[in-house]
Structure 1
Amino acid sequence: MRILSRAALLMAVLSGPAALAAPIVPQHDDEVIERLPAVARGSASSDPAVALREAKALLDAGREQGDPRLAGRALARLARWQADARAPAELVLLIADTEQYLHQFGSAVVRLEALVQRDPGQPRAWLMLATLHRVQGRYAQSDTACQALQRLGMQPYAAACSAENLALRGEHEPARRQLQPLIARATQPTTRAWLLTTLAELEQRAGRAAASDQAWRQSLASARDSYAAISYADFLLDQRRPREAWGLLQGEQRSDAALLRLAIAAQRAGLPEAATLRDELRERFALADQRSGPSGHERERALMALEIEGDAAAALRAARQNVEQQREPLDVLLLARCAAAAGDAAARAQARTLAERMGMRDARLDAI
């Protein structure tokens, strides 16, 4: 039960030149464009190149389908290199990327920090570190990674990285001044969309709904991705526009995160699909509970309990567990909303204290 994370989105943008190249137009029907690696259930290959291809294919499929089991299989393909301090950088990066997808943030951070210790010139590692520290509410450590990107001359990533941290601390105007010229100069659609998503989130936290709405629309018009679509759906739901959220997600892959927002939109709009979506979500949660290991889906469980089941106490329990692991603005905000629904003043104070300790400012939190 995972939404496409910011770390994954940034990795896709940073490693995307091949994806952004001119399209290949076949000249005849039997022309081979690319040979995809087999991803059978067999034992892991000892060839690092083969393991890398297979694991990446599995992780990509897991993200597309919202299925953590495929990411677990990807990690199994890479198991022989997990404890290898001298493993090739590409393998280390993919292991860490898979771990962060599975919400194994601590091990991903340790792995990436070891990599940049032996090779400081790894921009993708620094970018992932900046995001992972940010996800856990460690803005000072994220700043350090942003500064490393700056030293490596990695623009616009270094400037955007710094701007996002400024915005999280409530320094909205300096953050806008850094982002706007980056957006104006962006030529690749995916890079422009990523920067506009950052701006949309900034404006949302600043309490500027109209500016946020415009940035979300521009981002999706530039290059649609699941993270932006689901995040914009959350914005529309916050703005009491459930039918728009419903329409926005109709063409989206039915991941658990997208399905949950569809169910919330259907219930709020009084659509006949609401009951079917609720039942499907219940079934998916039941299946997720049968899997071994940490679930990593407490955010979605809290949203489900609060919005679909109307169980504020269960929502608050899940929201509290969630902020032990990840502390993005949505997570702290969700804790406060669940606390308000449950009438728990201590939990509301916990959310505010957590935000203050992190240095996070969010107009939505101030309004609760």
Structure 2
Amino acid sequence: MACRRLGGVPWLFLILAWLPALCAAQTRAPYIPASPDVVLQQVPPTTDPRVRRFEQLRLDLQRHPHDAKRAVTLAQAYVDYARSTGDARFLGRAMAVIDPWMRRPLPPIPVALVHATVQQSRHFFKASRQELTTILAREPNNAQAWLTLATVAMVQGDMDEANRACVKLANTGGDFMGMICTASLRMLTGRAPQAYALLGLVEDPGPKAPPEIRAWIEGLMADTAMRLDRAALAEQHFKQALQWTPGDNFLLADYADFLLDEQRPRDVLALLQGDSASDTSFLRQVYAETALGLPQAKADAAAMAARFAAMDARGSHVFQREQAGFALHVQHDAPRALALAQQNWTVQRAPQDVRIYLEAALAADQPAAAQPALDFVQRTHLSDPSIDRLVARLRSDAMAQAAPRAKP
């Protein structure tokens, strides 16, 4: 699936999150592992060329500590790594890099744009949109800012703002980015055939296009094919996308969700290959193990529950949608799943958020509770086979509950 800042308030939230641990450290003896085999923390392998590049960029910035351009390059490398691996620690590193410039009354636009992007990645959508609006007031032709604004608006279900941003993006960033943005919007507003046709026009962006761009387009085509109820075509695009970016965290989660919907949990385990470092991958692994009734399912479910509890303790709500799904499909706690889905709804309204909201309302036998999501589907014309079926069931249940009882 798959939520930033440095100066001022954002750091305060980080400090507050760690404060209990810092205080405890002053009163308790330090933790000493019972065995050298105990894993305290997993770090990225230095065999990864991206990790080796971090060191080069850090040394370059150390030699030129007042160069904002070099700071942005390093921070963006951290952001890209965090997105592709799901390791949010690198978002914090990105914030640390740009902090000196974010403390200025008017940060350089490239720095502010990285800052807004990290806010988006951590699901601080309102703050991200405010900062992007400020950036665009200073630099109206900033294509990256328009793209990020369109993305945030779509995630929040603000289709009018997304459409405005897509139009501006087409005018500033060219037809290529404009068509991708427009296709993404049409996919979310009941016009999947048009979206797929538009993406087909940009499917081959040229030999110089980076793998990430190619994988992005293929992933969008996979999502669009799913909304067209064409499973075989969707899988074809997923596989092509993973050929371009084999370890992309969110792409793997998206494909795993597709496989779970297709009742193929063994393929999910083969796809994820026991990746427990990423929360998103580990959650899909738990879903697959549970579906198969594997012996390790119970222990891994408990470990996943502990991860969610740790997120709650930190005040992190990045994965509320996933937490709602876990509560519903693994813990079988429909009321709690519904409460989590409702909380998540105040932050984001992507198709996956709509789906878990509807599923939880059905499972909790509270069709009326799903009305905000039903209104959203009607207003935006969102169409998706799984969501369409849920909408029909909820409307049927609501009518049954509203009908007067027949007299004996």
TM more than 0.5: yes
* Corresponding residue number in structure 2 for 1:222: 244
CA contact (8 A) 1:65 1:254 kept: no
Q: Deviations over 1:1-39 (max 9, x none)?
A: xx447xxxxxxxxxxxxxxxxxx9xxxxxxx9962417x
Task: Give the direction of change, closer, same or farther, for the CA distance of 1:118–1:317 in structure 2 (3 Å limit).
Answer: same
2:167 paired residue among 147, 154, 158: 147
Q: In 2, Cα distance between the equivalents of 1:53 and 1:222? A: 22
2:322 paired residue among 292, 300, 307: 300
* Corresponding residue number in structure 2 for 1:195: 217
Q: In 2, Cα distance between the equivalents of 1:50 and 1:184? A: 31
Aligned-residue CA RMSD in angstroms? 2.7
- Return the offset for 1:46: 7.1
Task: Give the direction of change, closer, same or farther, for the CA distance of 1:106–1:172 in structure 2 (3 Å limit).
Answer: same
Q: Which secondary structure does the structure 2 equivalent of 1:309 belong to?
A: coil
Task: Give the direction of change, closer, same or farther, for the CA distance of 1:220–1:33 in structure 2 (3 Å limit).
Answer: closer
Between the two proteins, what is the percent identity of the paired residues? 34
- Return the offset for 1:84: 5.1
Q: In 1, Cα distance between the equivalents of 2:164 and 2:54? A: 42
Q: In 1, Cα distance between the equivalents of 2:347 and 2:54? A: 42
Task: Give the direction of change, closer, same or farther, for the CA distance of 1:82–1:110 in structure 2 (3 Å limit).
Answer: farther
1:159 equivalent to 2:179? Answer yes
Task: Give the direction of change, closer, same or farther, for the CA distance of 1:195–1:47 in structure 2 (3 Å limit).
Answer: closer
Q: Deviations over 1:206-238 (max 9, x none)?
A: 322222222222222333322221101001111
How many residues matched?
335
* Corresponding residue number in structure 1 for 2:292: 269
CA contact (8 A) 1:186 1:192 kept: no
CA contact (8 A) 2:143 2:173 kept: no
CA contact (8 A) 2:147 2:169 kept: yes
Q: In 2, Cα distance between the equivalents of 1:155 and 1:108? A: 25
- Return the offset for 1:178: 1.1
Determine which structure has more spread, i.e. the larger CA radius of gyration. Answer: 2
Q: In 2, Cα distance between the equivalents of 1:254 and 1:112? A: 32
2:312 paired residue among 289, 298, 309: 289
* Corresponding residue number in structure 1 for 2:264: 241
Gaps of 5+ in 1: 6-23, 25-31, 39-44
- Return the offset for 1:324: 0.8
Which one-letter code corresponds to 1:229 in the other structure?
Answer: L
Gaps of 5+ in 2: 4-48, 60-64, 391-408
Superposed, 1:1-368 pairs within 5 Å as: 3-4=1-2, 35-37=56-58, 48=68, 51-52=71-72, 55-56=75-76, 59-60=79-80, 62-63=82-83, 66-68=86-88, 70-72=90-92, 74-75=94-95, 77-79=97-99, 81-82=101-102, 86-187=106-207, 188=209, 189-224=211-246, 225-250=248-273, 252=275, 254-291=277-314, 293-368=315-390
Moved more, 245-254 or 168-177: 245-254
Q: In 1, Cα distance between the equivalents of 2:78 and 2:170? A: 32
Moved more, 231-240 or 186-195: 186-195
User: TM-score w.r.t. structure 2 length?
Assistant: 0.74
- Return the offset for 1:158: 1.1
